[in-house]
A and B are shown apart, each in its own frame.
Chain A
Amino acid sequence: MTQAHQGGAHGWTGARKGVLSRLRFTSLRLRLVVVFGLVALTAAVSASAIAYWLNREAVLTRTQDAVLRDFEQEMQNRAGALPERPTQDELQHTAGQMAGSDQRFSVLLVGRDTEGRTVYGSSGGLNGFSLRDVPKSLRTAVNRTQKVDGANKYPYHLYWQRIVDHDTPYLVAGTRVIGGGPTGYMLKSLEPEAKDLNSLAWSLGIATGLALIGSALLAQAAATTVLKPVQRLGTAARRLGEGKLDTRLRVSGTDELADLSRTFNYAAEALEKRVEDMAARDEASRRFVADMSHELRTPLTAITAVTEILEEELEAETGSMDPMIEPAVRLVVSETRRLNDLVENLMEVTRFDAGTARLVLDDVDLADQITACIDARAWLDAVELDAERGLHARLDPRRLDVILANLIGNALKHGGSPVRVSVREADDSIVIEVQDHGPGIPEDVLPHVFDRFYKASASRPRSEGSGLGLSIALENAHIHGGEITAANSPDSGAVFTLRLPRGTSPAEEQPAEDELGQDSGTDRPQGEDSKGDA
């Protein structure tokens, strides 16, 4: 239950991590797009604004200049020709004439008739252009008499103003005829110009939009050119981390990313070389140990064969040997045996190191095997065995014997008897526990018990085995796909727990030997490639 829950939580975390990493991955892309967009937007908007403003000024000024020039002209030619105190009809007529010019503006003439009444003449009749349409400020400016001096030759000037009425822009201007006469106003709709400018604004807006889209696409392209190599670099770095040291990047171009790729390649090459060097040195030293133990074995074989003769001599009737020489012979015999064990263990270790150790699997009755192991070493009195008969497993009997002999031997040596060996099944594996009743293993030694030649203290007597026993036991468990753990029992003493898979999985199982009709090699033993590489 808890397991399932944890599993789910783990999965969720994993999924979230994935999403996050993708977001983080795209964030560079996102940032690039945003920056490109901002740059494009700023550039396009400011360019458009400047273009629009300049255009607007140019268009308006040109229209306005033309209109005002025309109006001025008309005022001089037509309104100037009116009598000083014109009648309503005269004003009306003249206003109509003036409005008939090319520029199509409305005209309002304001004058005083002979009776001193203010009279109006408008080009559009009484409903057309009236004084109400003229802003007050303009009227004031137009009617103000200015001082005539060197800098200002005329008492009245032409004034103009742009107004907006019902969303339509207009140009209003007014002036007085110098030397007495009516005041003239004109109203010119700027709608065509406004329309032109509007469509210009639209065009500029569309251009800005296009520029934005273009910049986004460019940003995408740029991001891709940057991110692709980055992604490749990431993949390569991951592969390198996984131990594929021959990973190299293809370097193309001369940009910074190419530089980075080149640097990566140099680093990978250096790393590979270094690892190779170390592996070679390691290999050389292993080779040396292997060669040395081989070389030691030849003389040792001769010595061992002869030592037995000496041994038999010792076991024979006493008195057949010089009492002075007997201890010497005994020492030679026992030390030769020790040397034998040491060399044998060294060879075993080098086999594991070189990966040449092989399993020779057989169907093993565990209780029988353990009993035989204990019996063969005369440990029956010192070991309590708790194992039900009929528990079978597919194992290498010799290697199981090595493991058991080392674990039990170690327990007897350090813990003292009685040593309890229990066997039980757990799922698909066999669990063998070896528990002694000694003082246990100090906490600081516990992580090192399987180290080669590890001595708990320098003062420990040297005659306590080769220092390879537990290491070899562990390697033998590993080659089975099993494990040995060391711990202290809550009661007392150390507990070594050996866990071995019960049988080979179907994949490892040899094909049926004869019925398949295979010839030589099929009956070749269930040896399989070493799995432990230590």
Chain B
Amino acid sequence: MTDATASPDKVTGPTPDNAIRDAERESGPMLAADGTPLKKSLARAQRRQKMRALGLVAPLLIFILITFIIPIGQMLFRSVENQIVPDTLPRTVEAVESWDASSGEPPSQEVYSAMARDLVVAEGLKIHTRVGSRLNYEAAGLSSLFRQAGRDVDETGEPFLDAFEESNEAWEEGSTWVSLLTTEEYQSEIAEWQARSDEVGRSFDEPAVDVAYREGFEEALPRTTDMFSDFAYVIGSEDGESPLEEEPWPLVYLSLYEDLEANPEAIELFEGEQRALVEEAMAATEGMGPYDYRAFFEEIDEEWLEPDIWETLQVFSGPYTSGYFLSAADRELTPDGVERVPENERIYGTLFLRTMYMSLAITFSCILLGYPVAWLLANLPLRTANVLMILVLLPFWTSLLVRTSAWKVLLQNQGVINDLLVWLNIVGDGNRLALINNQTGTIVAMTHILLPFMILPLYSVMKTIPPSYLRAAKSLGATNWTAFWRVYFPQSVPGIGAGSILVFILAIGYYITPEIVGGEDGVFISNRIAYHISTSLNWGLAAALGSILLALVLALYWLYDRIVGIDNVKLGG
């Protein structure tokens, strides 16, 4: 007995009683069971709870960020990215920068020389067609020009190669070049690499050794070393060959000639036999230069002399471009600034406008058809309403493709509706109605597909409007119409707003249905995006169009959030 009464004070650990008594004894901060101030303890508990909640959300958040948000961000990035031009044509981009486009003259020999070098490397890596198709989006015809140039460009400087080799047969050997330019260390390394490559054969994929030049060579012979490095890289990565066994590109010979012409003292770098070899070659090429790069390109195709091509290159030389967005807005970038494209090429403005007004038409027909049905459902007894609700929910749950195919079956020329009309002699067999592959088809089918998305939000709003309001209005003398228009309708506006935005957002991004029933003039902007992804392969433009559409949808979504709130999105009633 005594033990029991005395126990709270005898217990050594803290108990709730202790805390209370502590709190009563001194008017200090209220303490939790373990003696810490209650505030701190509460804060700790709440923090722990927060962390736990975050921990529960984190896996999904990370999943969505990786599988969804990053891809979208990447798409946005791709719509401005233009790395391929400066990456593939680094020398040209640099050289063409100083060219004055307004002069109306083709650029200098230096620019053509840079282009020849870039193209030889790109051709070796088989990427010259890619940059060609990239630039083709901006100026039609460049793709074939690049492809053609790629075939012939490795002959640039051929006369010099011939002259070098005539002076001494040693120039035919790749090994001559290697021993002429590179360090001994590199020579042994590349020899080993070559041996391994020969052993493995075709599937050899070890990266080639970077060329290391002898002391002072890179400064004295900049073009030669630059070209030779690229040559070694290309044959190493593409063919698994080393420069030891391959005859270099003619451009390498030409570069050596040009370097020695520009800097005659560089010959001091060579010694003994090698010096004799080089001097011999220089004697053989005496008076041959300077090489006419422009004439060489003219021979490939006269179009290379057109300033337009170089203008395009100059405008689209940066790593980022607004070009795709401008194309998406029917504009183009020229050296004189942004200009509208010619009238007959303005397709995206029309397409965006059409997407907008067709989505509006669909939204409007959804309101027109959805409002009466939602009203009926909201005002019928629950049991009947639930049965009728199934008629709304069944289309909602039915596959989009099923509904689209149903409309194709109904609307097509030999379809059910036309057959019925012909059978009833309302239209002749010869002039069946064109209900599909035009805007009518798209609007009818999409109204049907999106109607449940209008009815459901309308229904949930109307459900909350007490029917007694209408009765009260009528008993106060309002006519049926006044009672509806002045009392009921204003209260149902939030439902119309929610449903309209939902339908509009969904309609504006539709792809499948317009593709199947839309024909030529019933397609949306999304069909164009899909076309650029899968057919024209102009991914940058597809990304730009997608980004514009996304911005539009996000703005509408923000509006939806303001009106309805994201949390109030309801599915299936």
The answer to whether A and B interact is no
Q: Which residues of A line the B interface, CB within 8 A? A: none
